[in-house]
């Protein structure tokens, strides 16, 4: 399956902009797309909302203390293989 990656670099954005932008993107996701968000902290409200709506979520902190958050509507995709850490 060819997947469409939607990038969101939120490292320089202030609250609530990252959450607002991510929520807009989540509404557009289909079975072949996923959100790849970079953030300076772990966005727990976004992760909780995504999980409540049955999205698959992978979040991991890298060595530079930046968070990589992947969210997909398709639960069959192995998001860990798409991590760029």
Q: What is the pLDDT of residue 52?
A: 97
Closest CA to 13 of 45, 47, 34, 41: 41
Q: What is the pLDDT of residue 51?
A: 97
Closest CA to 61 of 4, 11, 7, 21: 11
Q: What is the mean pLDDT of each run of 10 residues along the chain (85 residues)?
A: 95 96 97 98 96 97 98 96 94
Domain hosting 8: range is 4-77
pTM, whole model, 2 decimals?
0.96
Closest CA to 21 of 7, 33, 34, 31: 7
Domain count, the chain: 1
Reading the block at residue 49, the tokens are 């909302």
Q: Domain holding 12: CATH number?
A: 3.30.110.40
Per the domain annotation, does 85 fall within a domain? no
Q: Give the Cα separation of 16 and 22 in Å (integer).
A: 10
Q: What is the pLDDT of residue 43?
A: 95
Q: What is the pLDDT of residue 38?
A: 98
Rounded to 5°, the CA angle 49-27-65 comes to 55
């Amino acid at each position: 399956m060819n997947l469409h990656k939607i990038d969101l670099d939120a490292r320089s954005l202030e609250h609530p902009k990252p959450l607002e932008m991510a929520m807009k993107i989540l509404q557009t996701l289909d079975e072949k797309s996923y959100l790849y968000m970079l953030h300076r902290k772990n966005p727990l409200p976004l992760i909780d909302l995504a999980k409540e709506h049955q999205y698959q979520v992978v979040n991991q902190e890298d060595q530079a203390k930046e968070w990589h958050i992947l969210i997909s509507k398709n639960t069959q995709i192995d998001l860990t293989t798409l991590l760029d850490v």
